[in-house]
Structure formats: structure tokens, C-alpha cells
């Protein structure tokens, strides 16, 4: 029975913004504390005061929750163990490989020692009182009496069914058994008796019971694909358990109850949180990425959770549930089918969506970004719709039918100056390819896109007249952005091109800038271009390009993010690079020193694209159907909070200190350094601000000569006390200039 009671708190770094709620996406990536033990495994358990972790070999570690980040107690075991459970003065460990169970005495956490060993059984564990339940996989269920920790013995078993996981609740054992969840009466553990079950149409993985309800995950884990669903069941009548709801399209590998929440690591490399405050009701709260190797979770009454072996092997990561709960999603009414593309213009949100069958309709839909309610639409009937460009009252997209032997797609133009009633602009039926708008740009009335004979400028006037202009001097753009000043920026397999299109009949390339691989995302803001392309190990590399002189663009900054991304959106100095399953947050407030902050999304919900609008981040998501084969299911618009960086009440930056580098190390524990170069002697101050903008410490206030300097903050406040874990800002002032650097404090 894995249950803890939580008192929710707010962690530094998640401060509210005056413009709307915000979330610090760095918190899951840079947790509150990191406990370090050599060669640690992901199996963890927790009491109210200590955390217990198994090593990769024969090590057993004990950490004091509010103590040092190194073990306060260790033991050498008789062999390797992979599963763990805690109750009272004892930790129970097991290994399905070596097929044994053992008891570790932790009554003195500084001197743990191994006691009894039982051979012949091994697997996942749960404990209630003196009864230890062991899920043995194909070996079934073993019930072990641990009343005498020196002599654990097998008291009962079930060998007729495979048991993947087990959860004890009173006299009942809830089992995940291949294609079923079963309920067994274990009041007499010598003769366990099945009293009820519910059939599933896919494999079961984890189960957790509370009172008269339980949760189970089902799905599939294969070499190329993983998917799953967390499901909620009622056991008011344990002889006839009933299905309540599909909670989230996530495959949880383990679950721990934490007051009003259920939390667990997922196969999708994240941490899921479910609100279970109302009996017989479950509400999905969040799925936070960044937990790449986690299979087990532990927690305590203080709201802390611990996950082993992430993000670095050998680390035990502590987080706070309140810190990793992102804002609840706000969704449109869902419908059969999937989303396709989304764009913003004039403060409104536009999306093209199509049905999952010919009984449904493809359409352009217009939404109020505040409420995410639909305010207008143009319905295509049964046509598939894709690609979307919107600018100055005009919307363009493709519509048609996809078939390997006979596909057809046409361009649709709409007047959306009245968004409640979009009307067709009569352009006829120009034939285009399905993905022809993917690399296109619209600067009304000009469309820059693949057209007859190549990539060219096409003029579309409000009456529907189409005029073809000259071919553009690019062989084929993957992505294009118009600046609105007669300049077109395009990206292809090897370069970024800057093209003068002020005369649509005589375009000319001003310059090109090589990039290492095919351009995946391109965003233009003023005279700055943000370009992403695929880096090593499916990561995303970012170039920040200054094209103040478009004839001689230069790369002024670059960084790397951990996910593959396809598109970009920008808000308040933060760049959001989104891919099929997740988005990365990159701080570009100083374009010369972009910094990866953290990630959001990362479930098996597909992101069609993401748009920053109305002080929020809105994703067009495709939700898999709740049952296999997880084909087209439903679509929704989901609102995420923006990154909290700009919630800090720091002044606008009038200029940059010459060569102020990012703080290092970052994140940090003992101290962090800031290096900078002064062109001349200046009055210099370095202040530390917390996430609300309050000054925590003045590190330096005095005159420094011209030249290179380094200042260090030791992590203490003005009184010399250690500051709490969280996000802080180093504000460096020299003369009339100022620079701010964001840092994360670990404890």
C-alpha cells in the first residue's frame, strides 16, 4: 500500500505573473535536490524521515531527507536486488532474476543491516502489516509472512495466472494479470481466493488501490513504439469491479498516492500527476518531461517525491509535487478526428481540423484565445484539410483527398476579416500538393510558395484574381518567413537564404548562410532569425542570426535542446521549439547567449503545432483514441502557462554589458560565477533577486577598472543563511547598463 499525505506548498521559481499564470519549466529538469550515491538503481522507498535506494550491485543506501546529499547509512547485501518496499522498521527487497526476497533492518538508519532471506520467490512488492505480496510475473503471486524479520516464509501462492504488479488494500490484493485486473481475498493468506476481475483488451502494467477504488495502466511497450492508458475502476463491489473512466493516455510504470494526488513515472519519460481528491473521480493534472530512466517512485507526507536514476546515472532526484504540477489544460469540445495546423493573426487563433472518417468534416475554425471557445468556422465537407497561413484578413490552406493512386489537393482562400463568418475568396481551384504550404509564407497579398514551375511569388487580390510573378532564386524551401519589409527568409537542406522580394517580378538573393543540416524551424522577429535543425542524438540545435545587414547575416548565438523539434513560437524573451510530442523552452532574452530552460508536453499526445498568444502557450493536440490501435481519436486546444522568467520585476535592459557570459555552474549548489568585460572603469553592482523580484543579497557594489572580471555568489542571503532551492536572478549593473542572468539553486 503506497500512500502518503501531502501538504502542498509553492516552490520558489513558480511565481505568478501580473499578465497571467506562469510555470517554471526548469523545475522538473533541475529538481530541488540531488542525492548522489555511486552506481545507484532506480528502486526507491521512503519513510517520513529517510529515503532508501538500491545500488546497481550489492549496495544499499539510506539518505536523510533533510540531511546531507550523500548517504547517512549503507549496507552491503548478499546479492543484487531490483525491487523495494517499506513498512515500519524494515525495508523489503526482492529480485526476480535471482528469485529471492530479503528483509533489511532500518530501525537505525545510520547502520542498516540485512536480516532474513527467502529464496524461490522474487518480483514487484507491496506490504501491509506482516504480509508481503510478491508479483512474480509468469510465476504468479507469492504471499510471504514477514512477522519474524529473521525468518520470512511463504504462506500462500497463486501459480495459475501471471501477475505483473500487486497492490494490497486491507484484506484484498489487486493484481495486474496480463489482460485482466483481478481482486483476491487474502484475509487467509494460506488460501488466497479470487473474488472478481475485469477484462482488458491489452496488456496490464501497474495497479494501485485505495479504499473501494483502484487505478491500472494498460498498453503496449515495443522496440519501436510505446503507448498506454491510465484507467480508473470502482471496487465498491469487489466481486464485480467496474470501469469508471480513462484518466490519461499515459502508461505509468509505478504509482504512489500523495494526499489528493496520484503520481508516477511513465514510459513516455515523464512524471504524471492525477487529482484523486473526489472519491470515484480522477482528473488528469499534468505530465512533466525530463525523467528519462525512471521506473519507480517514492514519496512522503511532506509532499516530496523521489525518483531514482535520473537524469544522470547514480542520482536520486527529489522534487516537490506542487512544483511539478503544471496548470490544468483548457480544452475545446473534442470531436472525432485530428487537428492539422494552427496560426494566430489579429489576436485570434485559427486552426484547420479534419474528421477521422468521411462522416466528419474538415474545416477552418476560429477561436477566442482567452476562452478557447469557437467563434466562427468554414466547413469543407468531407475533404481532408492541411497547411494554414493567415495574414491581414486572409487565410489560405489546402483541401482534398489523400490516396496513393489518386490524390488531389487544392488551395482554398478565405476572407477572415469577419472571423465569425469566414467567406470564400473565389480563386477557382488551383491544384497544389498536400504539403505545399508547409514551406510557404504569406505577406498579403503575396504568397511565396511552390507553384507552377517552382518556388515563386503569387499575388492573390481580395477579388480572387491570381497573378503569378517571378520564380524565387531558391531550389526548394522547407520553411519561409516574410518580414513585411520586402525581405523573405527561407531555409532548405543546407542554408538560410535572404531574398529581396520588394519587386515581385525581379527577386534577388542578397546572401545565404550555411547551416549544418536541414532546417526544421524558422522564426523571424525584427532583424533576428531563430533557426533550428536536427543535431546529434535526435537533439535540436538552435542558431540565432542577426540580419540587420541582410547582405551579411551573422550567427550571434547558439545552443542545444534535448528534443527533436519542428516549429517555433516566441513570447516575452522565451523561444518555444515544439516537436511531435514535446516543446523545449529556450531563454533568448539575450540573443547572444541563448539558454535551454526546460521542456513541456512529452506524452503520447501528438502536437500538431504550438502558438504563443494572449499570455499563454496554446497547443493543437491530437489525442489517441482510448483503445488500440491508437489511431485518429480526438483533437483539442490545450493552454499551457508561459515560462516565468518575465514575472521578475526587473527593469528593461537598456543595453548589454560587454561580453557578460551565462552564470556557471548552473544549476549550482555551493556557488555560481558571473564573468563580464568592462570597456572602462565603472561603478558595478551585482544583486541577487528571487523569483518575485525581491533582493536577496548584494554581492558587490563598488568601482571596478576596465577589463575582465568574475564575481561569485555563494548561495547565501544578506544574513549569511543558505537560500532555499529555486530560481534566482543575478542583476549586474555597470554605469547605466544592466544585464540579468537566470540561475537555479539546488540543495
Q: Long-range contacts of range 50-57, CB-CB < 8 Å, 24 or more positions apart?
A: 50/106, 50/109, 51/298, 51/306, 51/316, 51/318, 52/84, 52/86, 52/91, 52/104, 52/106, 53/84, 53/308, 53/316, 54/81, 54/82, 54/84, 54/93, 56/80
- What pLDDT, on the 0 to 100 scale, is given for residue 37? 64
Q: Tell me 537's DSSP state.
A: G
Residue 202 sits at the vertex; the CA angle it makes with 583 and 624, to the nearest 5 degrees, is: 30
CA atoms within 13 A on the CB side of 351: 28
- What pLDDT, on the 0 to 100 scale, is given for residue 303? 65
- What pLDDT, on the 0 to 100 scale, is given for residue 650? 32
* Tens-digit pLDDT profile for residues 116-146: 999 999 999 999 999 999 999 999 999 999 9
Residue 326 has pLDDT above 50, yes or no: no
- What pLDDT, on the 0 to 100 scale, is given for residue 36? 66
Q: Of the ranges 220-224, 452-456, 682-686, 707-711, which is most confident?
A: 682-686
Mean of pLDDT values over 677-704: 81
Choice between 663 and 404, residue whose per-residue pLDDT is larger: 663
- What pLDDT, on the 0 to 100 scale, is given for residue 258? 75
Residue 604 has pLDDT above 60, yes or no: no
Mean of pLDDT values over 149-168: 96
- What pLDDT, on the 0 to 100 scale, is given for residue 654? 32
Mean of pLDDT values over 487-510: 93
The answer for residues whose C-beta is within 8 angstroms of residue 66's C-beta and 6 or more apart is: 49
- pTM: predicted TM-score of the whole model, two decimal places: 0.61
Confidence of residue 618 (pLDDT cuts 50, 70, 90): confident
Mean of pLDDT values over 322-327: 48
- At 578 the three-state DSSP class reads strand
Residue 602 has pLDDT above 80, yes or no: no
Residue 433 has pLDDT above 70, yes or no: no
Choice between 170 and 66, residue whose per-residue pLDDT is larger: 170
Look-up of cell digits 510530442: 581
- What pLDDT, on the 0 to 100 scale, is given for residue 1? 44
- What pLDDT, on the 0 to 100 scale, is given for residue 730? 87
Residue 622 has pLDDT above 80, yes or no: no
Residue 336 has pLDDT above 60, yes or no: no
Residue 511 has pLDDT above 90, yes or no: yes
Provide the sign of the torsion angle of the four alpha carbons 96, 98, 102, 108, taken in this order.
Answer: negative
- What pLDDT, on the 0 to 100 scale, is given for residue 718? 86
Mean of pLDDT values over 379-399: 85
- What pLDDT, on the 0 to 100 scale, is given for residue 7? 25
Residue 646 has pLDDT above 70, yes or no: no
Choice between 325 and 121, residue whose per-residue pLDDT is larger: 121
- What pLDDT, on the 0 to 100 scale, is given for residue 624? 55
> Strand 362-367 vs strand 348-354: parallel, antiparallel, or unpaired?
antiparallel
Q: What is the rounded distance in angstroms from the CA atom of residue 359 to the CA atom of residue 703?
A: 74
Mean of pLDDT values over 384-406: 80
Confidence of residue 630 (pLDDT cuts 50, 70, 90): very low
Q: DSSP per residue over 214-232, as a string?
A: EEEEEEEE-SS-EEEEEEE
- What pLDDT, on the 0 to 100 scale, is given for residue 334? 41
Provide the sign of the torsion angle of the four alpha carbons 725, 727, 729, 730, taken in this order.
Answer: positive
Mean of pLDDT values over 343-349: 90
SS (H, E, C) 642-697: EEHHHHCCCCCCCCCCCCCCCCECCCECCCEEEEEEECCCEEEEEEEECCCCCEEE
Q: Of the ranges 19-23, 617-621, 707-711, which is most confident?
A: 617-621
Confidence of residue 350 (pLDDT cuts 50, 70, 90): very high
Choice between 538 and 143, residue whose per-residue pLDDT is larger: 143
Mean of pLDDT values over 39-47: 79
Out of 83-97, 201-215, 372-386, pick the least confident. 372-386
Q: Of the ranges 375-384, 439-448, 577-586, which is most confident?
A: 439-448
- What pLDDT, on the 0 to 100 scale, is given for residue 387? 83
* Tens-digit pLDDT profile for residues 260-316: 788 888 887 778 888 888 888 888 777 766 565 567 888 776 667 787 754 444 467
Mean of pLDDT values over 655-681: 68
- What pLDDT, on the 0 to 100 scale, is given for residue 12? 25
Cell of 725: 532551492
- What pLDDT, on the 0 to 100 scale, is given for residue 33? 62
- What pLDDT, on the 0 to 100 scale, is given for residue 522? 92
Out of 417-431, 581-595, 627-641, 718-732, pick the least confident. 627-641
Mean of pLDDT values over 501-528: 92
Confidence of residue 173 (pLDDT cuts 50, 70, 90): very high
Residue 597 has pLDDT above 60, yes or no: yes
* Tens-digit pLDDT profile for residues 545-567: 999 999 999 999 998 887 778 88
Distances (CA, A) of 12 to 692, 723, 740: 9, 10, 18
Residue 428 has pLDDT above 80, yes or no: no
Q: Of the ranges 113-122, 407-416, 432-441, which is most confident?
A: 113-122
Out of 544-553, 598-607, 616-625, 726-735, pick the least confident. 598-607
- What pLDDT, on the 0 to 100 scale, is given for residue 434? 46
* Tens-digit pLDDT profile for residues 1-14: 443 322 222 222 22
Q: What is the rounded distance in angstroms from the CA atom of residue 561 to the CA atom of residue 535?
A: 9
Are the beta carbons of 84 and 125 closer than 8 angstroms?
yes
- At 322 the three-state DSSP class reads helix
Q: What is the rounded distance in angstroms from the CA atom of residue 454 to the CA atom of residue 254?
A: 54
Residue 446 has pLDDT above 60, yes or no: yes
Confidence of residue 92 (pLDDT cuts 50, 70, 90): very high
pLDDT > 70: percent of the chain: 78
Q: What is the mean pLDDT of the chain?
A: 80
Residue 647 has pLDDT above 50, yes or no: no
Amino acid at each position: 500500500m503506497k500512500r502518503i499525505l501531502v501538504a502542498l506548498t509553492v516552490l520558489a521559481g513558480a511565481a505568478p505573473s501580473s499578465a497571467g499564470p506562469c510555470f517554471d519549466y526548469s523545475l522538473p529538469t533541475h529538481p530541488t535536490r540531488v542525492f548522489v550515491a555511486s552506481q545507484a538503481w532506480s528502486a526507491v522507498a521512503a519513510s517520513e524521515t529517510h529515503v532508501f535506494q538500491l545500488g546497481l550491485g550489492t549496495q544499499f543506501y539510506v539518505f536523510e531527507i533533510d540531511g546531507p546529499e550523500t548517504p547517512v547509512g549503507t549496507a552491503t547485501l548478499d546479492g543484487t536486488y531490483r525491487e523495494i518496499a517499506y513498512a515500519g522498521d524494515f525495508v523489503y527487497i526482492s529480485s526476480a532474476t535471482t528469485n529471492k526476497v530479503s528483509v533489511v533492518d532500518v530501525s537505525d538508519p545510520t547502520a542498516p543491516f540485512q536480516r532474513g532471506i527467502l529464496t524461490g520467490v522474487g518480483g514487484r512488492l507491496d506490504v501491509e502489516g506482516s504480509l508481503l505480496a510478491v508479483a512474480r510475473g509468469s510465476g504468479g503471486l507469492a504471499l510471504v509472512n514477514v512477522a519474524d524479520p529473521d525468518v520470512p516464509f511463504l504462506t500462500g501462492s497463486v501459480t495459475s495466472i501471471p501477475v505483473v504488479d500487486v497492490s494490497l488494500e486491507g484484506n484484498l490484493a489487486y493484481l495486474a494479470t496480463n489482460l485482466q485486473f483481478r481482486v483476491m481475498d487474502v484475509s487467509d493468506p494460506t488460501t488466497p481466493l479470487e473474488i472478481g476481475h475485469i477484462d482488458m483488451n491489452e496488456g496490464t502494467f501497474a495497479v494501485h488501490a485505495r479504499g473501494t477504488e483502484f487505478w491500472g495502466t494498460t498498453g503496449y511497450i515495443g522496440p519501436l513504439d510505446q503507448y498506454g492508458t491510465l484507467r480508473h475502476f470502482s471496487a465498491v463491489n469487489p466481486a464485480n469491479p467496474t470501469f469508471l473512466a480513462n484518466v490519461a493516455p499515459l502508461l505509468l510504470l509505478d504509482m504512489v498516492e500523495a494526499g489528493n494526488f496520484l503520481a508516477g513515472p511513465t514510459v513516455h519519460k515523464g512524471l504524471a500527476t492525477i487529482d484523486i481528491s473526489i472519491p470515484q473521480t480522477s482528473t488528469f493534472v499534468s505530465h512533466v518531461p525530463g525523467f528519462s530512466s525512471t521506473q519507480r517512485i517514492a514519496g512522503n507526507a511532506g509532499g516530496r517525491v523521489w525518483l531514482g536514476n535520473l537524469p544522470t546515472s547514480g542520482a536520486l532526484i527529489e522534487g516537490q509535487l506542487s512544483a511539478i504540477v503544471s496548470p490544468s489544460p483548457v480544452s475545446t469540445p473534442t470531436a472525432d478526428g485530428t487537428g492539422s495546423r494552427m496560426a494566430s493573426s489579429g489576436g485570434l487563433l485559427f486552426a484547420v481540423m479534419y474528421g477521422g472518417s468521411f462522416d466528419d468534416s474538415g474545416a477552418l475554425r476560429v477561436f477566442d484565445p482567452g476562452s478557447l471557445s469557437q467563434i466562427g468556422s468554414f466547413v469543407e465537407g468531407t475533404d481532408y484539410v492541411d497547411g494554414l497561413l493567415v495574414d491581414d484578413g486572409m487565410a489560405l490552406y489546402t483541401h482534398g483527398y489523400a490516396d496513393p493512386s489518386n490524390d488531389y489537393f487544392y488551395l482554398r482562400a478565405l476572407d477572415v476579416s469577419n472571423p465569425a463568418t469566414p467567406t470564400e475568396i473565389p480563386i477557382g481551384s488551383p491544384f497544389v500538393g498536400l504539403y505545399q504550404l508547409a514551406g510557404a509564407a504569406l505577406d498579403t497579398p503575396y504568397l511565396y510558395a511552390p507553384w507552377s514551375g517552382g518556388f515563386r511569388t503569387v499575388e492573390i487580390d481580395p477579388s480572387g484574381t491570381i497573378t503569378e510573378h517571378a520564380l524565387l532564386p531558391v531550389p526548394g524551401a522547407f520553411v519561409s518567413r516574410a518580414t513585411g519589409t520586402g525581405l523573405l527568409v527561407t531555409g532548405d537542406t543546407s542554408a538560410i537564404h535572404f531574398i529581396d522580394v520588394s519587386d515581385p517580378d525581379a527577386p534577388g538573393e542578397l546572401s545565404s548562410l550555411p547551416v549544418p543540416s536541414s532546417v526544421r524551424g524558422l522564426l523571424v522577429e525584427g532583424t533576428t532569425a531563430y533557426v533550428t535543425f536536427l543535431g546529434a542524438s535526435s537533439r535540436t540545435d538552435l542558431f540565432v542570426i542577426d540580419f540587420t545587414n541582410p547582405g551579411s547575416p551573422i550567427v550571434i548565438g547558439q545552443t542545444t535542446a534535448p528534443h527533436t523539434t519542428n516549429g517555433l513560437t516566441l513570447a516575452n524573451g522565451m523561444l518555444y521549439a515544439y516537436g511531435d510530442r514535446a516543446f523545449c523552452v529556450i531563454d533568448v532574452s539575450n540573443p547572444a547567449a541563448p539558454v535551454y530552460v526546460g521542456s513541456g508536453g512529452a506524452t503520447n499526445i501528438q502536437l500538431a503545432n504550438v502558438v504563443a498568444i494572449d499570455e499563454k502557450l496554446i497547443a493543437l493536440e491530437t489525442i489517441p483514441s482510448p483503445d488500440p490501435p491508437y489511431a485518429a481519436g480526438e483533437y483539442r486546444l490545450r493552454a499551457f502557462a508561459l515560462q516565468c522568467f518575465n514575472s521578475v520585476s526587473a527593469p528593461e535592459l537598456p543595453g548589454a554589458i560587454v561580453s557578460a557570459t551565462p552564470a556557471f555552474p548552473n544549476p549550482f549548489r555551493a556557488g555560481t560565477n558571473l564573468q563580464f568585460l568592462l570597456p572602462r572603469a565603472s561603478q558595478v553592482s551585482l544583486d541577487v533577486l528571487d523569483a518575485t523580484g525581491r533582493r536577496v543579497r548584494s554581492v558587490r557594489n563598488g568601482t571596478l577598472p576596465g577589463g575582465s572580471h568574475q564575481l561569485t555568489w555563494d548561495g547565501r542571503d544578506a544574513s549569511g543563511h543558505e537560500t532555499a532551492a529555486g530560481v534566482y536572478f543575478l542583476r549586474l549593473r555597470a554605469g547605466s547598463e544592466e544585464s540579468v542572468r537566470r540561475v537555479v539553486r539546488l540543495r
